[in-house]
Amino acid sequence: MLEKIVCPACNSENERNRTICATCTGSLGFPNVNLLKDPYFQVPLDSLFQESLNKAIGLNKKDLIEGFCSALDAAGKAVVNMDLALLTKILSGEDYLPYHLAVEAGKRPKTTVLNEMKRSTVEAAFYASDGMKIVYASLSLDGIGLINYGSISISLKTNTIATRTSVFSENSYFLYDRFLDAGWRPGNSLCPSGELGTWEERNKIVINKLFDEIIRNNGEVSNFPSILLKNGDGRSEDDFLELHIYNLINQHHIEDITFTKNKRTILSEADDADYMETQLLVLEEKLSSTGIDYKWLN
């Protein structure tokens, strides 16, 4: 049973999925975050994290856990991956919308029937109707996200997304399937707790998931990014922490951009190299006008 959320303005109790107080119509915050702030989710996550800490202390390796957490605090960013065309639209002032809202607005076409059915099912299972208002990102330490979703990695300013971001231990599609296999029945009960949290709990989820790898790594900082996020040969082989950002993102939320393909590669892969070269020039002009930092990887 979830606890009620108390309105900060009038102290009225509300269901945790409400965004507006039923009494005074004041803001209650973001429903994905409010949901995962409930003790049902918080207590098991805290308990598992304490177990991880105790285990590290027993191994005399607490410093390795603290070192990884410090790196996450200093450099961990929400990263969204996309292609050049979408980035150009965002830099031109368009919002990057959640899938369902983008389809309704005519901003993007529908995906396949089966893919859309799975997406809708998974989002509703975790967040009910609020699932259609989620923008997906990954947690990264080096500014490089999931390149199977686009070769351009967009790092977001933490202060623009932290209060509206929830964190899953892995791809929500896979987590959904794993929970079903463990006996979860969406609609009849809340999903299992211990692997989901808010942005503030990201370190706990990371440590609980990657404890063994972090200990084996023995503090080698250069390996931290690849421990946290692993790009596979395809999307099904990616291993990462999935971030759920409520509502939308736009150019004002961008901190910096990493192009994981260099210009030569982009031009060689283009159907029309001359057109692509023009598009790259337009993109760099827009980047210069916005003042957003960016880099090309060789």
Structural domain containing residue 267: 38-296
Q: Are 11 and 133 in the same domain?
A: no
Q: Are 21 and 77 in the same domain?
A: no
Domain count, the chain: 2
Q: Are 147 and 22 in the same domain?
A: no
In the beta sheet, which residues pair with residue 27? 20
Q: Are 119 and 158 in the same domain?
A: yes
pLDDT score recorded for residue 1: 83
Q: Are 270 and 186 in the same domain?
A: yes
For the chain, which residues score pLDDT lower than 70? Answer: none
pLDDT score recorded for residue 298: 75
Q: Are 22 and 79 in the same domain?
A: no
Q: Are 5 and 69 in the same domain?
A: no
Gyration radius from the chain CA atoms: 20
Q: Are 100 and 48 in the same domain?
A: yes
If one counts every other C-beta atom within 10 angstroms of the C-beta of residue 126, the result is 23
Q: Are 268 and 136 in the same domain?
A: yes
Q: Are 6 and 131 in the same domain?
A: no
Q: Are 42 and 154 in the same domain?
A: yes
Q: Are 9 and 98 in the same domain?
A: no
